[in-house]
Each structure stands twice: as structure tokens, then as C-alpha cells.
Amino acid sequence: MNMAFWLFVIKELKSLARDPKMLIAMVVVPLVLMAIVYGVLGQAVVEQIKQVTKAGYSISVIDMDRGVYAQKFVEYLRSLGVDVNLVEKDVEDKVGIDIQNISTKILFIIPRGFSENISKTIPAHIVTYVKIESLTIGEGGILDVARTYVSQFNSALLKSIARERNIPEQLLSGIVFSDIVGLLKEKIIKNPSIFFSIVTMGSVFIPMIVLLLVVFAAQLVATSIAIEKEEKMFETLLSLPINRMSVIGAKLFTSIFISSIYMLGYSLILFQLFLNQILRTTVLTPAEQMVGLDTLTSFTMPREFTVYLVVNVVGLAIFIVSLSLLLSLFAEDVRTAQAIVGNIVGPTIIVIYLPMFIEASTTETRLAIALIPIANTAFLSKFILLEDYTTSIAAAVSNIVYGLIVFVVLRKIVNSETIFTLKLFRRKRAE
Amino acid sequence: MSQPVVVVENLVKVYQKNIRAVDNISFYVYPGEIFGLIGPNGAGKTTTLRIIATVLQPTQGRVLVYGYDVAKDAAKVRRIISYLPEDAGAYKYLTGLEFLELVAKLYTKDPKKIEEFIEIGIKLSGLGDRLNDKVKTYSKGMLRRLLVAKTLMVKPKVAILDEPTSGLDVVNAVHVRESIKRFAKDVGGTVILSSHNMLEVEYLCDRVAIIHKGRILVVGKPRELMERFEASNLEEVFVKLVWGA
């Protein structure tokens, strides 16, 4: 890096630190943005959960107990208006259960000894399998549906036992418990609550980070270029004995650097909230063995994905910041630059939050998403959860390619008189 | 006469929509000379200076500064010139001194030279302790003095000043003119400037070119032009030429 680059980096940092308007914008704008985004998305998620809950009205049950209380459970579900599909299973069959043939989202397995345990007032467990397919944030609602059926049955049963034995209901603690297991493609997820916390994190938290990076860096770089014009330094800069790209590079670097620090600050606050939520959940163990499925107990990200993630985000940052800088060259002042960039980059909020609502179950869909800048970063968490290497590589490469194309165009403009005449013709005819 | 350090030959500048801002002009500027471009608004003065300063590129013709073509060797030209645009400003959240330091460091890496440039800048600006204040607190006159100082302090071979005293009160205008005179005398640098102020041009310039509608009408020493057009000052020369044009 040459000296001019660092001189301008220092100058940018000094100006930012001393400009009160900039400090207000750095605190207030993201807070307002977050409030709007969460307000709108919160409502959308509630609607989505309602839709998913409807899927819980049809469930499958494998009764391996064949006892009276298993029967009561099925009857109870039917009394709630639930469409119960009883899957026939030989009690002596040790081979296992072919989960792919189960058509409903929820499968209850009532293990042997269930009724006997309840008769002896010993806790009994129902193993609940929840099929995970769309990886949308609302899909997590199905866990609550499954849990609710079991806990409602538990309450009804406690009342009945208390009545039969003439003891206060309050003296009885829970008797029927639900061990919930998630099923994602060929994998068993031991604690789907944690899994959906990660899905939520990927759908809300990661896009928020990307959003902060994109919007903030874009606004920062546009403001920084417009300030050169507003402070009437632009023409002088073009005649200085320095590489013009040093100035542009310093502005790109400073914008990305400050946005990254800022983004990390916000991320840590959000991450803290999510971590607390995850740690409150407990780890369960499935009681029945499933055939041909691997057990997914933890979510450590493969090293390759870390590389794709970094390349993807770097590519996105170069693309958006270069694009914003390019657009801001048309503006005469800070307000116009922010308006131009805001109107172009603003709608990316919609793209960023697509993962919350769009299913990425087919390879074709995922590859198409991989070619859409910004969306491909927001979808990364899903690509990683699905261990989709091809799409992750395509997403990273496409972002780098978009970033480089815009950067090359920017460089060409900066090193010609167009950088000056873009402004010139918007304002007035030169002398 | 020695070789010209700035050569402008058959220069044409056409903007989009066929606006012909400069129409086939030629002039030469010699070492140590203060050369003035004078003319009404829209005459092509600023465009000409912008081309010499490598901000714009010629459509036709050639412009050489110390033998370097402004279109092909722009980077080399920028190393020997220093340009002050008419509508220039400075970073308002830097202090005057920080601004001078930034500019000095952009012209050289040598710490001694940086120090020397800043010293010259401090003297040329005449702003004293106010250099420790942020630029945003400066009046228009103070800002212009700072900008003239930053342009001349780096001791360019050619200083290009577009309307250096435009909009300044008498005190600040006199200060700027003195700075330019001192630069030419002490450093031996060449200055090309544009101005509306005929008195200023008479006082400052060794030679002038009167430009109108993108064409140069006449080039010469102010005294010679006044004699030739039987005028008592350059303003009369200018009026006679422009009305006659």
C-alpha cells in the first residue's frame, strides 16, 4: 500500500470521528432500520407459523405399546380434531422404522411399556419425530405443536388419575413426557430446538449482519465521496500527484473497516441474545432406533465452508461498496448521494430476508439463489446446514465476480475524465 | 527567449451535446512567467486550465507541460504542477495545519521537505494561530488564503490558479496577490492564472491572453496591448476586443 492510501485512511477516520452528523447517523440509522425490519418481519413470521401449525393437524402414530394408555393418547388426539394416521408396526420387528414412508410432519412413537409405566405412576415417554424440510423460520413452530399435544394429554391424564385415585392433582407431577427428535434428509437431529435456534439465527441474525454491512458500508462510502464534492476538494484531488485509486481504495477500505467493527458490535449484542436462548434448551436422547440415518449431534462448520463464507462476504462487500461508490459519483452532495444509494441498496432488505420464507429444498433453487448477490450470503447458513458444497462455492465465486466487474468499471471511470464529467453535466455547462 | 514550459497548440475541447468549450486555441508560457487568461464567463478559461491540470482531456490538439503530454503523461505532469480550482474548498473537519500537512505529504515522502513545505504554507497563508482551528470555522477569505498557500507551498514548476482572488475582500485579495508575486520571485515558478479582475491581471501578469467564446483573441504583455489598442487599461482593451469580436 502506498503512502497516499494511508494518508487518506487517516484523513477519513479523523473526519468521521469529528463529524457529529456522521456519529448520529452511525447510531440512529441502524437502530431505526432494525426496528422497522423486526416489526415487519415479526408479523410475517407469526403468519408463517400459523401456516405451519396447520400442517400439525395431520400426524402419524406408531403404537408399539398396544396398551390402554397408548389407545387413550390416540383417542385424545382424535378428540382434538387431529387426523391420526396409525402406522402398522410389528412389535417384535427389531429392524427399525422406514421414516421416508411417513407422510406427515409429526410422528409419535409410543414405546413398549408406556401404559405399564403410567399404571405404576412412573414417567412414560413418547418419542416425537419432526420432519424438517423447508428450513424456514416458521417451520420451528411444528415443534411447539408436537410438544403441545403431548403436554395437553399429560394434563388430561393427570386429572383422570387424580380423580381415579382420589388425590389432589397438584400432588402429581408430569407423567407423560415428549422426547423430540428432528429428521433432516438422512440425518437425525437430537435436539431440534437448538437446530431451529440455529435456523433462526441463520434466517434473522446473519441477514441482519449482512444488512448492516451492506447498508452501512454503502452509505458510508457514498457519503465519503459526496463530501469530497460538498467540501469542494474533488477537482483538487484529481490533479494531485497520486494514484487516484489510492483515494478510492482508502474510501472503500475505511467504509468496510468501520462497517465491520460496527457490525461486530451489533452482532455481539444479538449473538448474546441468541446464545442465552440456546443454552436454555435441554439435550434429549431418542428412545427408538431409526434405520439408515446418521445422528447429527453438533453443528461444527466444516473448514471448507469457512473459506466459502469469508470469500462470499468479502466479494459482497467489494460489490456493494464499489457499486455505491460508482452511484455516488453522480451526486453533487451528501444528501443526493445518500438518496441514490438508499434507493438502490434499500430494497436489498427484501432479498436479505428471503431465506426466512423461501424453501431451498432443491439443488436448482439453491443454485439460482447462489447467483443472486446479497441473497446468496443470506442463504449461506442453509447451504451449510444442508452441506451443499456446490452451491456454497457458486455463491462465493459469483459474489467475487460481481465485485470484480464493478471494481473494474469503477477503476476505468476513476482513471478517466468521466469521474469529473459525470458531475459536470448534471450541474452546469463548463466554461 | 527560452523554450516554453507550457505549450498549448490547436487545443479543442468538445463536451457531450457538441458544446465547443475551447475552439482551436494556442499559446505558450515561458519559465518564471505569470501568464493570465482573461475573458468573460463561459469563454473557456476554466476548461483550458482544467486540461493543463490533467482534470480534463483535450478533444483535439496538444498540451505539453515541461515536455510531458497532459493526455499521455498525466501522472508525470501532476508531479510538477499544482492546481487551485476556482470553486475549491478544504476538508472542514481538519485544522488548517493538518490540511497543509496532508497536502505536503502527498507531494513528497522526504520529512525535511514536508517540514519545509509546511513552513512555506504557514507563511504564505498568513493565518497564524488560526491554522490550529478547524477549516469549517474559516471565513471565505481565510479559506482562499489557505488554498493558495497549499497550492504554492509545494514549489510546483507550474502553478495553475483559477480565479485566485474571486469573491475576496480587498485585504484578502491583496494578500493572495502578494503570495503569488512572492512565489514567482522566490521560487522562480511559472504561474498560469485566470481572472475577471483586469487591475489584478495588470498588476500580476507578465503576459495575458484574452479569450472569448472559446477562441483566443490576442496574446501579449499588458503594457503592449494597451498601447496597441490605444487603451488606458486592460479593461478597455478587453472591451474593445470583445465588442469587436
For residue B71, the distance in angstroms to the closest alpha carbon of chain A comes to 10
**Interface residue ranges in chain A relative to chain B, Cβ cutoff 8 Å:** 3-4, 7, 11, 14-15, 18-19, 231-233, 235-236, 238-243, 416-417, 420-421, 424-425, 429-431
Q: CA B145 to CA A347: how far, in whole Å?
A: 45
CA distance A298 to chain B (A): 51
For the record, the C-alpha cell of A278 comes out as: 440456546
CB atoms within 10 A of CB A244: 20
First to last CA, chain B: 30
Higher pLDDT, A155 or A56: A155
- CATH pick for A56-184 out of 3.40.50.2300, 3.20.20.140, 3.40.1710.10, 3.40.50.850: 3.40.1710.10
Distance of CA B122 to the CA centre of its chain: 20
Give, as one character, the DSSP assignment of residue A122. Answer: -
CB of A32 within 8 A of CB of A57? no
C-alpha cell at A83: 387426523
Are the CB atoms for B59 and B13 separated by under 8 Å? yes
Q: Which of A215, A217, A204, A218 is nearest to A354 (CA)?
A: A204
Structure letter (DSSP) for residue B148: H
- CA–CA dist B136, A285 (Å, integer): 68
- Distance of alpha carbon A262 from alpha carbon A386, whole angstroms: 30
- Strand runs labelled E in A114-268: 124-132, 176-184, 187-189
The whole-angstrom distance between A10's CA and the closest CA on chain B is: 10
Domains and CATH numbers, chain B: 31-60+79-244 (3.40.50.300)
Residue B72 DSSP one-character state? T
Interface test with B, best of A230, A239, A243, A247 (most B CBs within 10 A): A239
CB atoms within 10 A of CB A193: 21
Burial class (CB in 10 A: 0-12, 13-18, 19+), A264: middle
Q: How far apart are the first and last CA of chain A?
A: 37
Using alpha carbons only, what angle is made at residue A391 by residues A385 and A393, rounded to the nearest 5 degrees? 105
Q: Report the candidate in A31, A1, A56 with the shortest Cα–Cα distance to residue A265.
A: A31
pLDDT of residue A385: 75
Give every CB contact of residue A123 below 8 A, 6+ residues apart in sequence.
A117, A174, A175, A176, A177
- For every residue of A337-384, which 3-state class applies, written as one string? HHHHHHHHHCCHHHHHCHHHCCCCCCHHHHHHHHCCCCHHHHCHHHHH
Q: Is the pLDDT of residue B85 over 90?
A: yes
Mutate to test the interface with A, among B45, B48, B93 (most CBs of A within 10 A): B93
Write out pLDDT tens, residues A185-230. Answer: 767 787 787 777 777 766 666 777 777 777 788 888 888 888 888 8
**Pick from A410, A407, A249, A245: nearest CA to A315:** A407
Q: What is the pLDDT of residues A376-391, one digit of tens each?
A: 887 887 787 777 888 9
pLDDT band at A23 (very low <50, low <70, confident <90, very high): low
Instruction: Kindly report which listed range (A273-277, B191-195, B233-237) carries the lowest average pLDDT score.
Output: A273-277
Q: Which residues of B touch A235 (CB under 8 A)?
A: 50, 55, 83, 85, 87-88
* Closest chain A CA to residue B41: A431
The residue type found at B140 is K
Question: What is the C-alpha separation between B71 and A350, in angstroms, rounded?
Answer: 45
A369/chain B closest Cα distance in angstroms: 40
Helical residues (DSSP H) of chain B, grouped into ranges: 45-52, 74-80, 96-107, 111-125, 140-152, 170-187, 198-204, 222-228, 234-244
Q: How many residues does chain B have?
A: 245
Element (H or E) spanning A35, and its range?
helix A20-55
- Cβ count near A114 (within 10 Å): 23
Supply B5's cell numbers: 514550459
pLDDT band at B1 (very low <50, low <70, confident <90, very high): low
Asked if B41's CB is within 8 angstroms of A233's CB, the reply is no
pLDDT the model gives residue A302: 64
How large is the angle between the packed helices B96-107 and B111-125, nearest 10 degrees? 140
Q: Interface pTM (ipTM) of the complex? A: 0.93
Question: How far apart are alpha carbons B104 and A323 in whole angstroms?
Answer: 31
**For the ranges A300-314, A328-342, B42-56, B161-175, which has the lowest average pLDDT?**
A300-314
Residue type, A168: P
What is the helix (H) or strand (E) element at residue B34, kind and residue range? strand B34-38
Cα–Cα distances (Å) from A20 to A14, A193, B139, in that order, read: 12, 44, 21
CA distance A173 to A269: 38
Residues of A in contact with B111 (CB under 8 A): none
Q: Which three cell numbers stand for residue B32?
A: 518564471
* Residues pairing with B190 in the sheet: B158
Nearest chain A Cα to B84, which residue? Answer: A236
pLDDT of residue A136: 73
Kindly give, in sequence order, each residue whose CB lies less than 8 Å from that of residue A67, ignoring residues fewer than 6 positions away.
Answer: A114, A115, A116
pLDDT at B18: 79
| Residue spans per domain, chain A | 3-48+200-427, 56-184
Q: With b meaning 16 or more CB within 10 Å and e meaning fewer, what string describes B174-210?
A: ebbbebbeebbeebebbbbbbbebbebbbebbbbbbb
Per 3-state DSSP, chain B is made up of helix, strand and coil in percentages (nearest 5) of 45, 25, 30
**pLDDT in the model for residue A300:** 53
Q: Do A15 and B94 touch (CB under 8 A)?
A: yes
Alpha carbons B14 and B20: distance in angstroms, whole number? 4
For residue A163, what are the contacts with CB-CB under 8 A and spacing of at least 6? none
Reported as a single tens digit per residue, the pLDDT across B111-156 is 999 999 999 999 999 999 999 999 999 999 999 999 999 999 999 9
Interval A254-305: pLDDT, tens: 988 888 887 777 666 665 555 555 444 433 333 344 444 444 444 455 667 7
